Amino acid sequence: MAKCPLLLGVILGLGGLAGLGSPAQVASATASDPSDGKESPDAAPSSFGARVVADRIKTGDLSVVSGESVRTQPGTLGDPFRVIQLLPGVVAPIAGLPLWSIRGASPGTTGFYLDGMRLPQLFHLLIGGGVVHADLIDRVDFYPSGYDVTMGKAAGGIVSATTRPARSDGQHLDLSLRLYDIGGLAEFSLPKGVRISVSGHYGYPGPLLKAFDDRIQIDYWDYQLRLDWRFLTFQVLGGYDALALSINQDLEYSSPQSTKMMFHRAQLRLHGERDKLAWEGAVFGGYDLAGDVSGRGVDKLMAGVRGFVRLRLSRLTLQLGTEVEVARFSGERFDVGLRSLAFIRNAEGPARISGKDPDVTPDELGEIGSRRVGVTSSFYLHSELALWPQRLLLSAGGRLDVYHVAEETLIGFDPRVQLRFVATPWLSFSAAVGVYQQPPAFPVLLPGIDTFALKLGLQRSRSTVISQDLQLPLSLSLRLSGFYQRFSNMTDMPPLGSSVCAAPPPESLHGTTATLVRVADGNAYGMEVWLRRSVGRFTGWIAYTLSRSERSYPCGVRPADYDQTHVLQVVAQAQLPRGFVAGFRIQFNTGRPETLIPIDSDPSSPLQQAAEGRSSGVLRNNMRLPNYVQLDVRIDKRWAFRKWYLHAFLEVVNATFSRTNLYLAYPSSDDIAAGKKSAELLGFNWILPSLGLRGGF
């Protein structure tokens, strides 16, 4: 088993070579909207700055990090989406992977949206880049909690990205070359106001990977097409990932590990605004697949409609919206080699056997692989009222979501209220309370796996957030936030290490679904501090989160597997002479909880009792893994010519070669008899160098 973390470390290290950023330009950090359609006549393709909005309440000013700096922040590999992991309230349970627990919620409860379409993933496998070309992203809205009823079907946070149309000032081409990835964006301005953009990436990491380890094979690609004409927008996008690992460990359960993920989306939007009325209607469809490289797996074919109407009066804004989606799910048993991992074998027990040949060995997928038709319907009414113009703003609304599969129907009603008080031009306060619900979810978001196991009931979060925003001298701003969330029916991952006192598999589920899904109640609470400077030659921020996430396990309320008490992010960037931009990021976080069990050869030892499924008297998560510190550095250089530009960068993620710790692996009974009396902390050290060149006109 020691080979698995080492192999994963090699994959993570090589994956870091794929990132490429954009020229650094810093926009104003006010509440102004950079997506208002205004374009600089001499702007480079990257002048459309993405932005990140934290704790967005539509009734007030927005706190934003905007401009090209979000694409050149160290530690992001040039991807606007990854800026989210640098913000307060976000923890990464496994350092180096874009797997986030937001304000104590399970990673599987986070919703990803792009132009109103829900996506099953934002990133390619492992530490690969985003599935959407970075220069298409106009802005990224981040909702850790406390958002209004216009966003839904998520019990955790929401990441909502908006893309931009092609520029209207002629034809443009942008090409990027990375060590094993090529990307491109072409923009066309045609007669009669038609604008078209075509973009994508293609990865060719095979030859480089084989130079390090011939047991690894990774392939990926993505594409995006957008057409805009007057009030019509047509979009098509998709992504593909394949990972194959050949590991010979001479284990009974060992089998080649292979994973294949794919999704496609198409959308036709009609939108417009006239006087006080704005509206949008959309027809969308898509196909998702998650399985193994042979083509077996679970898939989803879906279609739907959505729309809203918004009326703006002098002091009142009303918005009414709806969405209906119909999906057909099917599955074919497959093997991704998970039984090569000890914690999966332990969770499955002796009743489950190897899946080396899915044609002759049983490997029930359970509820995630059942053939079914799922219908999801959503309706909401949102209002914003200026109780005291320019001072006191109230937002309130209700959301109704209905989920139906076969004879199972779940109905969730989510009331939510936000209030913002602007005391002075430099001081404001906001508060939000609400209910956030969604159907049962897989612990990690994967294509094609949703609207299943409705018998478990809705996942629910009751959230309260209070924030204070303060404008300081030297273009500094400070946000202080406190939050409390109460979770019900939260779906978490199975225990990585010991299963002592862990939430048991749901009795109503079976097969792989029961193996990989755990359900528990819990809560999370904490405080966040965000000090930032977004304008000037020197920019950056300090983000600190003090939080606690807990779950109700069979032995009582204990720290959740995702809990990290202290998380500190220090991000700094400087614009230097001659087109250079340099920056660094320092991350510190306390280790995740783990369960330490005394090891003894006595049959009545706690370890033996745990192995036999008996009570061992050991509390779950009674210790913590070592603290984690990471340093990322990045330098960019841009050459601007009369009609074209050239941009190069060098980035090193985890320059400190820090170790990612996974879990404690306990010796078998034979190992104990042979004298092994200690658990092994599995993990790996890694470093991600990234180098790229880009040009365009």
Residues with Cβ within 8 Å of residue 482, at least 6 apart in sequence: 465, 466, 467, 525, 526, 527, 528
pLDDT above 80 (res 695) = yes
Q: Residue 625 class from Cβ within 10 Å (0-12 exposed, 13-18 middle, 19+ buried)? A: buried
pLDDT score for 434? 96
What does pLDDT average to over the chain? 83
Contact 551, 524 (CB under 8 A): no
Of 232, 235, 226, 319, residue with least CA distance to 284: 235
pLDDT score for 5? 41
Sorting pLDDT into bands at 50, 70 and 90, what band is 180? confident
Residue type (1 letter), 39? E
pLDDT score for 58? 46
Of 649, 630, 584, 504, residue with least CA distance to 92: 630
Sorting pLDDT into bands at 50, 70 and 90, what band is 534? confident
pLDDT score for 664? 87
pLDDT above 60 (res 20) = no
DSSP type of residue 264:
E
For every residue of 597-664, DSSP letters joined together read ----SSTTSHHHHHHTT---SPPTT-EEPPPEEEEEEEEEEEEE-SS-EEEEEEEEETTT-PEEEEEE
Which residue spans within 341-407 are E strands per DSSP?
Answer: 372-388, 392-405
Interatomic CA distance for residues 185 and 133, integer angstroms: 8
pLDDT tens profile 449-484? 999 999 999 999 999 999 999 999 999 999 999 999
Domains of the chain: 3-34+45-696 (2.40.170.20)
Interatomic CA distance for residues 511 and 331, integer angstroms: 13
- Please state which of the ranges 330-334, 341-345, 515-519 shows the lowest mean pLDDT: 341-345
pLDDT above 50 (res 21) = no
Interatomic CA distance for residues 119 and 137, integer angstroms: 15
Interatomic CA distance for residues 675 and 655, integer angstroms: 38
Q: Which residues pair with 575 in a beta bridge?
A: 581
pLDDT tens profile 344-369? 555 444 334 444 444 444 457 888 88
At 674 the three-state DSSP class reads coil
More confident residue, 243 or 313: 313
pLDDT score for 293? 74
For every residue of 167-205, DSSP letters joined together read PSSS-EEEEEEETTEEEEEEEEE-GGG-EEEEEEEEE--
Alpha carbon 610 to its chain centroid, in Å, reads 34
More confident residue, 235 or 47: 235
pLDDT above 90 (res 446) = no
399: tokens are 């959301």
For every residue of 469-483, DSSP letters joined together read EEEETTTEEEEEEEE
| Mean pLDDT across 438-446 | 90
Interatomic CA distance for residues 54 and 677, integer angstroms: 48
Residues with Cβ within 8 Å of residue 77, at least 6 apart in sequence: 16, 18, 19, 20, 21, 127, 129, 651, 653, 688, 690
More confident residue, 129 or 421: 421
Describe the chain by its helix, strand, coil percentages, rounded to 5.
10, 50, 40
| Mean pLDDT across 106-113 | 93
Q: Which residues pair with 383 in a beta bridge?
A: 318, 396
| Mean pLDDT across 135-144 | 90
Of 383, 344, 390, residue with least CA distance to 363: 344
Q: What is the 3-state secondary structure (H, E, C) of 649-673?
A: EEEEECCCCCEEEEEEECCCHHHHH
pLDDT score for 675? 72
Cα torsion 335, 337, 338, 339 to 10°: value is: 100
Cα torsion 493, 494, 500, 504 to 10°: value is: 100
pLDDT above 70 (res 424) = yes
pLDDT above 80 (res 52) = no
Sorting pLDDT into bands at 50, 70 and 90, what band is 502? confident
pLDDT above 80 (res 247) = no
At 218 the three-state DSSP class reads strand
Residues with Cβ within 8 Å of residue 603, at least 6 apart in sequence: none
450: tokens are 């949703």
More confident residue, 181 or 559: 559
pLDDT score for 33? 36
- Please state which of the ranges 511-515, 633-637, 642-646 shows the lowest mean pLDDT: 511-515
How wide is the angle at C-alpha 102 spanned by C-alphas 96 and 107, nearest 5°? 65
pLDDT score for 443? 87
pLDDT tens profile 561-617? 989 999 999 999 999 999 999 999 999 999 999 998 887 655 556 666 665 555 567
- Please state which of the ranges 8-22, 45-59, 187-201, 383-397 shows the lowest mean pLDDT: 8-22
Interatomic CA distance for residues 529 and 428, integer angstroms: 15
pLDDT above 50 (res 218) = yes
Sorting pLDDT into bands at 50, 70 and 90, what band is 296? confident
More confident residue, 65 or 183: 183
Residue type (1 letter), 158? I
Residue 305, CA distances (Å) to 285, 372, 378 in order? 9, 20, 11
Contact 168, 194 (CB under 8 A): no
Q: Which of 69-73, 199-203, 252-256, 341-345 has the highest mean pLDDT?
A: 199-203
59: tokens are 């009734």
pLDDT score for 429? 96
Tokens 């880049």 sit at which residue? 129
For every residue of 6-30, DSSP letters joined together read HHHHHHHHHHGGG-------B---S
At 57 the three-state DSSP class reads coil
| 29-32 contacts at long range (C-beta below 8 A, 24 or more positions apart) | 29/63, 29/64, 29/65, 29/66, 29/475, 29/477, 29/532, 29/533, 29/534, 29/535, 30/61, 30/64, 31/61, 31/62, 31/63, 31/64
Strand 566-575 and strand 580-589: pairing?
A: antiparallel
pTM of the model: 0.87
Sorting pLDDT into bands at 50, 70 and 90, what band is 165? very high
Contact 173, 185 (CB under 8 A): yes
